[in-house]
Amino acid sequence: MPEPTAPARPTAPARPTEPVRIVATNLRRFAVALWVVAVALVVIGLLTNGLRAALLVPVPSLFTAWFAWVVLWRPRIELTEDELVVVDVRRTTRFAWRRVQDVRSKYGLEVVTDQGEQRVWIAPRPTARLALERPGGTVPVTVAAAADEMRARVPAALEYDGAPPATVTAAPIVHRVHGWAVVALVVLGIAGSMAGARL
C-alpha cells in the first residue's frame, strides 16, 4: 500500500522582474511648459533691454529651468529586480525589496518599511495622474494601480521550519540627499530675484 504524501505547498506567483519607471504626467507637462517660458523670457528680456542686459536676462530663466527639472521632472519611482528607488526633491532613497512591507495608496503613495513610512512626492494625493514607463512603452495609471504594480514586487515574508539562519545578510535602505541641487535652487532663486530687480 503506497504511503500517503504530504500535500504540496501552493507556490507564490512569480514576482515581476522587468524594470519599470513611474512618473507624474501632469508634473512633467508643467515642467515642459516652464522650459518654454524660460526660453521665452530670455528672448523677451533681450528684446526689451538690449544686449547691455545680456548677463542679467538669463538668470531668472536659469532658475525657472532648474526648478522645472529638480521639482517637476526628475522625481520618479524606479522598480528593478533588486530594489525600489524613490527619487524626490530632497533625496533619493533605495529600498531593498526585503525591507518593503507594504505600499499604500489611500492618501497618495506611501512606502511602508520597518523604519516607518515615506510619502512619495509625485503622488501626494490619490487622484494624481501617473504613467508606467516599461521597455515596451508608456501606460497611464492611477495611484492605486501604481501601488499594485509596486506591491506585486514585495516578496512574501520568509518562513523557517527550523531555527533561523546563523547569519543574515543585511537588506539596506540607502538615503542620498540632493544637497547640491537644493543649494543651487536657492542660489539661483536669490540671483534671479536680484537680476529681475535690476532689469
- When the pLDDT of each residue in the chain is averaged and rounded to a whole number, the result is 86
Identify the pLDDT of residue 8.
47
Task: Walk along the chain (199 residues) and give the pLDDT tens digit of each residue.
Answer: 555 554 444 444 566 778 999 999 999 999 999 999 999 988 888 888 777 777 778 899 999 999 999 999 999 999 999 999 999 999 999 999 999 999 999 999 999 998 889 999 999 999 999 999 998 899 999 999 999 999 999 987 656 555 555 555 567 889 999 999 999 999 999 998 888 777 6
Q: 139 near 149, Cβ under 8 Å?
A: no
Identify the pLDDT of residue 168.
52
List, in order, residues 6 or more apart from 12 with CB less than 8 Å away.
Answer: 156
Q: What share of the chain is helix, strand, coil (3-state, %, to 5)?
A: 40, 25, 40
Global pTM value: 0.82
Identify the pLDDT of residue 163.
55
**114 vs 94: CA distance, rounded Å:** 14
Q: 65 near 34, Cβ under 8 Å?
A: yes
Q: What is the pLDDT of residues 23-78, one digit of tens each?
A: 999 999 999 999 999 999 888 888 887 777 777 788 999 999 999 999 999 999 99
